Amino acid sequence: MRFIGADGTERDTAEVFDVGPVAYDVSRAKAIIAAAPREPELVDLELAAMLIALGEVTVDPQRADRVDLTEPGIGVATPAGTVLIDGWHRALRTTLECRAEMAVYVLTGDEASQIRGYLPDRRNTCPTR
């Protein structure tokens, strides 16, 4: 899949989380975490549950039944809270099991800026920060 970083460089990537005009290169996020291991943090899933309930993020309930909950998600810190960029099916299953938190590798602001961008068809709508 073609991905354009916030700096304007284009690259191919295997996995992207697309949220409106902004997209996150999940493949690069996984590489960052592999290169700089960290402990996952317990993240409150209220924001994730709200986005799923509102239909802003589409999650397949049948796939959620089969996910490995021992694998942490990946998130970026925002003023509204940590936003998942990987682990939405795990988040759904966790909330359906009446648990409020999930283990998530949280990227720093600097790391998030390295993976934030947009898809080519949204070139003119992406914020540059």
Mean pLDDT, residues 16-35 taken together = 89
Pairing of strands 22-25, 73-78: unpaired
Range in 9-23, 55-69, 107-121 with the lowest mean pLDDT: 9-23
For residue 8, what are its two tokens?
A: 């304007």
Q: Where are the domains of the chain?
A: 2-6+15-117
For residue 97, what are its two tokens?
A: 């099991």
Confidence at residue 126, expressed as pLDDT on a 0 to 100 scale: 44
Which neighbouring-strand residues pair with 118? 4
Q: Is the model's pLDDT at 108 over the cut of 80?
A: yes
pTM: 0.85
Mean pLDDT, residues 111-125 taken together = 76
Quote the CA–CA distance of 122 and 59 in Å, as a whole number. Answer: 23
Quote the CA–CA distance of 32 and 36 in Å, as a whole number. Answer: 6
